Structure 1
């Protein structure tokens, strides 16, 4: 692990904010590091307000999208809501279709089959629309590069509205409206929305035409919060507002599908981490193992008992996904060793029998062992299909653009992408990708980094600080849980390994004469020697609360220890 202490912000800014808000300089420093420098910034951060959501009509083409939908409703046209098979896509389809059905009956949904059709808008889906008399397709979380597909639909007199958040190519599809805040000619104030977030802006605009306020749309925010958490978009600006209120919906009056998943999880209250690790994998499992339609059925089900049945099925899909993920990861690691590729700057592996639904997860797993840009390929019909994942700080999408001559198609963003290529181009692509990354990646990015916000003494860890840090939630990209380092701490002799495989580390830490704290280090079992025999060491950690038998205490979540 590479420990990087964040540069101290300008002292004047920290002091000014500390005085303005009457807060500890440590808290002021953490806020300034997050770009919060004024009272108004702090108000928006600590007190998210739905009033601060932007006018949806600021998004390029929003007026065209609303006009076309209103025309379809007026003329009694059939509308097809089309979306990707992952969490962002299925939540977006569930959101837009369920809203439209409250104002108009002729609405159907379509999720492409991951294996038969692949990612994004498909010719099969367009043919399905044509066969069923659909004249308007609303595509969510996909479509920004589907130039040929949109042209094909136009030949069949089918219009498209595209709602996407991925980076566009040089040419946009010839759709009636292309809603994507990442369009270079779109001046919407916030460009980090997920696909479901763009879908929410669409229904916000449609609602405004009907005199509906944001309060009328609150019930849809559980879906938006799940998508924000799953798609790993920055928890800043509008995303922070939508995630904050979406979590409230999840914990108070969620739709039956989410209520069923929470019910089966036996959790009382979910935070953003629970959404990432409990809800998102299960919703994703439908599209990975069976079909994304199962997720949409769950998320739009009106009857709770039926939703529980759907959720139970999805629970089984998720268990299958875990087994596949584990098996394929082991096979991929063995392949890397057999080919002596441990010293490469990239990981690119292939096996024709690997399950297409879990290769993205496997790519993330491989990064845990060999920390470098990773692509996992499998066979998909006459071609190879792959999922790419990157390491912090490296833009894998840019690298793919440099290797585009070997690819059939690709799409995604900085840290995750998908692609297909002809079988005969695999070896050339693998070599080109390795050479591109080798030539462009800074050497330090090949070592995992822990970004540390501040160095503190244990004496500064108080219940008041813990309460304030809780108000920094929800955490996520661009607003990660604050990370601290403390020097010369010792374990009081309680250090022990935990877990069936003894992979975790339990400690009780003290520093000088300060109060001691219980600490847990997930995945740090191998470092027990550093903490044993009461030898002093340095510790990097987040501050958590531990609830046990009705008692709440401060607990340190250790990220790394070292001498």
Structure 2
């Protein structure tokens, strides 16, 4: 049995609905299954999703504050007032700022831009920046991707004679600023139907309102902001992302073209994934390490030469950022491990770490890495030793609403903002311990046991035969993929591993060929090369992953990128013909110490194993000295000390057997080792050898077949009734059939249990009209059969032995 890394959320599939939708839309069952399990129940519902275009964009004036914003900006343009665009330093912030530059330039406005420095000023409007705007003669301040929480700052701007138009998409606080216009679809009383726009998406809608029609040419930057800020790719965001991707593939502007070049991505091959993993990190790099102005200049560049220079600078900063993140993660992990060691048994539900010298610009990236490794909500803070202030970011897990949790602790922070999954904050160092304590309690109250295992939502379970090139090509109609519309995740049950090998530098990756009912497919897993031994040829697994097409030299073939796996099967490696047993066992122990145990028979082999492998600390037991205590734990012998102890560690992943049981007690012990509670994944069996290294002779016991039971039963029917005594009918039957007396008595007991023979005291009588029952319905039969099988383990073929062990491993 191999347990999955993730908790699989598998929907109940409506096969009839899938079949009907596949027919009505003329798509494969693969595509139809994804649509059904994502909520599309009819062709009429699904078509707007599949064909989303500009006609489905919402009237921008439905957004609260949009009319006032258009009027105030129009007046500033007419009267030549100086406008300042106040942006943000992340990818959404710089794309929002650049879109506003396009908009105001096209309107003929007098304006400039300002993006705060991440480390020195932090997120959002600040009083110093407002003073600078006033000194520059700014009369209208337009925020992009921030401002909804700036109550005091906007009031201060008003006192200086500066009007403020806020365009934002973050969660509004209870009290919102008194601005000329607040444009944010998340305002409580805003009737705008789609709430998932990013900052750049809100500016895209503002441009729509200003010009009276959608500005399709603005969709490129709006798409980047949407994807980079992990907004749901549903509703209007899906339309914006599709329009933007089409535009960038067809005719990217100089900045995007240069960015693609340093990312080694062809513009025509751009996808939401490549934007999220290649373009967005470089746009973020400037704001994280230096200043975001460079990213804005790149996106607004008019020529290729300037754009390529800026793109190379951002690429260099991104490399520096990666190294800095890696080092900070090492330091953060060490700090967390020290916290855990200092209070054993009191592991905090939320990781909260702060350190002087850390860079606040990469705090969110570090927090994400820690969430990935420890699966706990995480806050990472950079501390200023002089002021005692800490600035940083937080990332959460499914089920823990980070923004709601921080709101419960608002009195401890100077500033905070964000949403369910991510947030930023400023807090004094003195309040960090209190914040950690309160968040720990909230997580304890809000989360249940299941929430602490990462979950993977599965779109559908599908047989290998339905995974074709045509079906995968049709999945392109579901793009773009991203948050809210993820790449379809597929479950393929019970596939047989035919080939398995590592690949890449240092064998970090894994490539396998799997088969099911005559169909085969190649599967690849990046970063899972260390799982090669667990995924050996011959094992059957359930496979979880995503589908793709591998193109090489003009050839196209189906490929699965797998992410997780599990198996209810026990893998048997039958090496009973191995000549150098001790050398082979030593190699297994060296290569796989974790979760390994060794069972031996006879005692001479056990003593030899303890002598050879004692220093490795591997649990080693002889069947004859192992017992089972009253709690079902197996008492085993420690290899290091040869003293008996009870193994309560729970799971053994790999079991090495040197010799097989030859008695009922030994079989009972082996069955306990094979029990599913152990979490055993594989068993390697060697023949038992004594110190002279000769193979021990197999022993065994026979068990009557069905025809033998029929023969004895026929004799019972012929006799009709009898007295049960050792020298009576049973003895007579034993002599005629040449079965031992104990075996004949066992047969009679089974007939009594099945209702074929009635028993009163020592009197036995055949039942004239017995029920129609199979031998397997008798528990006495099953127990005797299993016992007999156990005593002939050494005689079994590989297939028989695997079957017997698998039967012991079933829940």
TM-score, reference length from structure 1: 0.95
Q: How far off is 1:42 after superposition?
A: 2.1
- Going from structure 1 to structure 2, the CA distance change for 1:501 and 1:143 (only over 3 Å counts) comes to farther
Q: CA offsets, 1:411-435, max 9 Å, x none?
A: 0001000011112111111111112
Find the aligned partners of 2:190 and 2:349 in 1 and give their Cα distance: 36
Cα contact 2:22–2:29 (8 A) shared by 1? yes
Find the aligned partners of 2:133 and 2:9 in 1 and give their Cα distance: 54
Cα contact 2:119–2:359 (8 A) shared by 1? no
Find the aligned partners of 1:169 and 1:9 in 2 and give their Cα distance: 41
1:69 to 47, 67, 73: 73
Find the aligned partners of 2:144 and 2:10 in 1 and give their Cα distance: 37
Correspondence for 1:101: 105
Question: Which 5+ residue runs of structure 1 have no aligned equivalent?
Answer: none
Alignment of 1:54-133 (within 5 A): 54-133=58-137
Correspondence for 2:175: 171
Q: CA offsets, 1:427-482, max 9 Å, x none?
A: 11111111211221222121111211111111111122111112211111221111
Q: Does 1:505 align with 2:503?
A: no
Correspondence for 1:392: 398
2:413 to 407, 411, 428: 407
Correspondence for 2:588: none
Correspondence for 2:230: 232
Find the aligned partners of 1:464 and 1:287 in 2 and give their Cα distance: 43
Q: CA offsets, 1:258-310, max 9 Å, x none?
A: 11101222222111100001100000001001101111111111111111001
Q: Does 1:261 align with 2:267?
A: no
Cα contact 2:9–2:455 (8 A) shared by 1? no
Cα contact 2:487–2:546 (8 A) shared by 1? yes
**Structure with higher RCO (Cα < 8 A, 6+ apart):** 1
Correspondence for 1:554: 558
Give the stretch that moved more between structures: 63-72 or 261-270: 261-270
Cα contact 1:530–1:537 (8 A) shared by 2? no
Alignment of 1:439-478 (within 5 A): 439-478=445-484
Correspondence for 1:20: 24
Alignment of 1:286-435 (within 5 A): 286-340=286-340, 343-380=347-384, 382=387, 383-435=389-441
Q: How far off is 1:156 after superposition?
A: 0.5
Q: CA offsets, 1:478-498, max 9 Å, x none?
A: 2111111112222222x2223
Find the aligned partners of 1:122 and 1:171 in 2 and give their Cα distance: 18
Q: CA offsets, 1:150-186, max 9 Å, x none?
A: 0010000101111111110111100011011111100
- For the residue of structure 1 that corresponds to 2:8, the secondary structure is strand
Q: How far off is 1:12 after superposition?
A: 6.0
Cα contact 1:49–1:241 (8 A) shared by 2? yes
- For the residue of structure 1 that corresponds to 2:357, the secondary structure is coil
Find the aligned partners of 2:542 and 2:348 in 1 and give their Cα distance: 32
Cα contact 1:219–1:254 (8 A) shared by 2? no
- For the residue of structure 2 that corresponds to 1:351, the secondary structure is strand
Give the stretch that moved more between structures: 132-141 or 396-405: 396-405
Find the aligned partners of 2:505 and 2:94 in 1 and give their Cα distance: 35
Question: Which 5+ residue runs of structure 2 have no aligned equivalent?
Answer: 568-811
What is the RMSD of the two structures over their aligned residues, measured on CA atoms? Answer: 1.6
Correspondence for 2:542: 538
Cα contact 1:530–1:561 (8 A) shared by 2? no
Alignment of 1:152-231 (within 5 A): 152-208=156-212, 213-214=213-214, 217-231=215-229
Cα contact 1:530–1:562 (8 A) shared by 2? no
Cα contact 1:410–1:420 (8 A) shared by 2? yes
Aligned residue-pair number = 555
- Going from structure 1 to structure 2, the CA distance change for 1:105 and 1:43 (only over 3 Å counts) comes to same
- For the residue of structure 2 that corresponds to 1:172, the secondary structure is coil
Find the aligned partners of 2:538 and 2:466 in 1 and give their Cα distance: 22
